[in-house]
Amino acid sequence: MTKRLLTALCCALLLTLPAWAADLVYLNTPLGAERLVAAKYKQQFFLVQPYVESQQNLAFCGPASIAAVLNSLDLPRPAVGTLQPYGFFTQDNIFTAGTQRIKSRDQIAKNGMTLAELAAYLNTLGVRASAYYADQMDLDWLRDLVRSALADPKHRIIVNYSRKPLGQAGEGHLSPLAAYDEASDSVLLLDVAKFKYPPVWISLADLLGAMNTTDTDSGKSRGVVFIGR
């Protein structure tokens, strides 16, 4: 391959990659681990991460995020037949008569969940959840919300964003946030698609941009669900 052709191929590849892709720092790298150690807002990583399980199918990022968050809070857990006498929230038992009136399991397995549906599920399952849309927030507002959520062990936060602007494979996705690093102004996302990506640090500016995209199922922007016990 000639030097000229190699240069042209490299330039073409760079043009196809979103500029934001370079800002992702995965936790399983030296920099990612160092950032977690240095971060001031990291308590929830140790509270939530032990309960994060990979989503059961390509559309179950919502159920996986819900189960992880609920198990990490001091809540009564539903009985699981095979685990008696212990209870546990799973990607199966979050589907109750109440939650399936919001959206059925079959519909979620096919189309996933919108931001509003995620909040409605959580409210039905015993916590207080509020949905905030990215097209109605700025970076300072998002930063304040993230700090507030991550500073309180009784709060949790799940984000709904598009993978495309971040240079990841896929489209709309849901996962919990678990840490915030002030020095890099970035958040640690516990990706529930564990078969695709490990936890990743994303700058708040990049996350806001990835959330400020249209969810074609709802016709609204993506955003944040703030959860209180």
Q: Tokens at residue 97, please? A: 């008569």
Rounded-to-integer distance, Cα 166 and Cα 211, Å = 10
Pick the catalytic residue: 181, 191, 206, 215?
Answer: 191
Please enumerate in sequence order all residues whose Cβ is within 8 A of that of 225, keeping only pairs 6 or more positions apart, or say none.
115, 118, 119, 122, 129, 130, 131, 132, 157, 158, 159, 160
Task: Find the farthest-apart pair of alpha carbons in the chain and give their distance in angstroms, rounded.
Answer: 68
Pick the catalytic residue: 173, 181, 206, 215?
Answer: 173
Q: Is 22 helix (H, G, I), strand (E, B) or coil?
A: helix
Rounded-to-integer distance, Cα 24 and Cα 186, Å = 9
Rounded-to-integer distance, Cα 79 and Cα 183, Å = 43
**Which of 151, 146, 109 is CA-nearest to residue 223?**
146
Pick the catalytic residue: 61, 155, 206, 215?
Answer: 61
User: Is 173 annotated in the active site?
Assistant: yes
User: Is 61 annotated in the active site?
Assistant: yes
Q: Tokens at residue 32, please? A: 């990612």
Q: At what angle do helices 61-72 and 115-124 cross, to 10 degrees?
A: 40
User: Is 140 annotated in the active site?
Assistant: no
Any idea which residues carry the catalytic annotation? 61, 173, 191
